[in-house]
Amino acid sequence: MVLVIGAAQTQFNRRRDGSGFRDWAAQAFNAALDMAEIERGDIDALIFASESDFFTLQLNPASVLAQDLGLCGAQTLRVEGGGASGQLAVHAGVERILSARARHVAVIGADPSASALPGDSMRELYSYSFDFWTEGLSGVTATSLYALSWQAFTMTRGGTDTDLNAVTKKNRTNALSNPNAHLPRQHDEAEFANAPVVASPYCRLHCSPLSDGAAALILSAPDAAPRARRKLAPRISGIGAASDLPGLGHRANPGQFTAKTTAAQQAMTMATIDPADISLAEVYDAYAGAELQAVAALGLAEDPVTALRNGDFAPTGRCPLNLSGGLLGQGAPVGATGVGQTASCALMLEGRYHQGLQPDRVLGHALADTHGGVGTSCAVTILQAGDSA
C-alpha cells in the first residue's frame, strides 16, 4: 500500500487576478506538504499532470515546477491522458513508491482551463481529444459525442431528462458546502426547462464548467511516513487503467464505458474488495449522464437510474457520489481533476473534509474515477481508511 500523507487543492474557478498555473501548483503543494509533516528535501519525485501544452505554454512543466517548488534534483515526470491525466499521475506516483524508486512523491495537477484561451478555441481543442483525422476534422464537439453516448446508454439502461437534472442538482447542491467549488448552485426544474440546449438532450446546465486550479498529494511508503501520520493517513490500495477505441462508432456498445469496467476490476482486484465495499466515490461527471454511465461501468449499482431515484447517491445515501460537487459543481481544471478527486477521497476517509460534506459514519473504502475522451482512457483508484481514522 501507499499512504496519502498530504492532500490539498486550490479553489476551482475562473481566475482574473493575473495568477497562473505555477502559482496555483505552489499553493496546493505547500498546503499538502504542511499536512504531510515532512520537509521539501524529503521529496524524491515530482509527478505533474496537465492536459495540454496549449494551456500551460510549457513543454517541460514538471521541471519548471521543480525549480519553483525547491525540488531541483528530484525525479520529474509530466503525465498526460486527456481528462484522465490527474488520475494517471496519481498512478505514476504510486508505482514509483511500489517499485522502491522513491519513498516520498509529490503529485500535482493543474490547468488554466478557463483562462488560457477563448471559449471557442477551447471547444476546438477539446474536439481533438478524440481522433483528429475523424471527429476532430469533422467539427463535432465533445458535448455532441457525450450526448450520443448517453442516448445509447438510455436505450438499454433507461434514464430521462429528469434524471439528468437530478444528477446536476445533487452535485451542485453538494458544492454549496465546498468553499473551493466553481458552481455552487441550487437549481429548480424551471431553470432546466429554460436553459439552452447544447446537444440534445444536454442543456447548458448538464455540462461541467471550464475551470482554473490545482490539486496536490504527498504520497509515502508506509515505513517512510512520519509516525504522527502513519496510522491516520489513508492508503491507496488499488489502481487500474484501461483504454477503449477513440471513435464511438467503432465500439460494440457506444453507451457503455467498457474500459472503465476493466480499470475498476483491476483496481478492486489489487485492493481485494468488491463494489459493495465502496463507501463513497468521486466519479467523472463532465456531463450529467456520464455520472450514471460511470456508476454502471464501475459496478456501484446494478440499476444506476433506479438507485439515483431512490437516493442511494445522496450525501446520506448508501454510496454518496461526488460530495465535492464533482466536475459539475466543484469544477474541472483538467490536469487537476483526478488529483483533486483522490485528495477529496483521502480527506473524507481521514475525517478532514469540508464541514457539511464530511460523512458522519465509519468509512472503509473510497473510489476515484476519471477518464479522457468519452470513456476512452480510464483510470480508477481505490483508497482505504487508515488504521485509526
Closest residue by Cα to residue 61 from 2, 116, 132: 116
Residue 124 confidence (pLDDT): 75
Closest residue by Cα to residue 24 from 370, 345, 336, 330: 336
Distance of CA 175 to the CA centre of its chain: 15
Task: Round to whole Å and give the CA distance between 272 and 249.
Answer: 35
Render each residue's pLDDT in the chain as its tens digit; 389 residues: 999 999 999 999 999 999 999 999 999 999 999 999 999 999 999 999 999 888 888 889 999 999 999 999 999 999 999 999 999 999 999 999 999 999 999 999 999 988 888 878 877 777 777 777 877 677 788 899 999 999 999 999 999 999 999 999 999 999 999 999 999 999 999 999 999 999 999 999 999 999 999 999 999 999 999 998 998 999 999 999 999 999 898 999 999 999 999 999 999 999 999 999 999 999 999 999 999 999 999 999 999 999 999 999 999 999 999 999 999 999 999 999 999 999 999 999 999 999 999 999 888 999 999 999 999 999 999 999 998 54
Give residue for cell 433506479: 306
The verdict on whether omega for the bond into residue 112 sits within 30 degrees of 0, i.e. cis, is no
Residue type, 137: L
Give residue for cell 439502461: 157
Residue 389 confidence (pLDDT): 43
What pTM was estimated for this model as a whole?
Answer: 0.96
* Superfamily for the 2-116+210-384 domain: Thiolase/Chalcone synthase (3.40.47.10)
Residue 388 confidence (pLDDT): 53
Q: Which helix (H) or strand (E) holds 46?
A: strand 45-49
For the record, the C-alpha cell of 342 comes out as 483522490
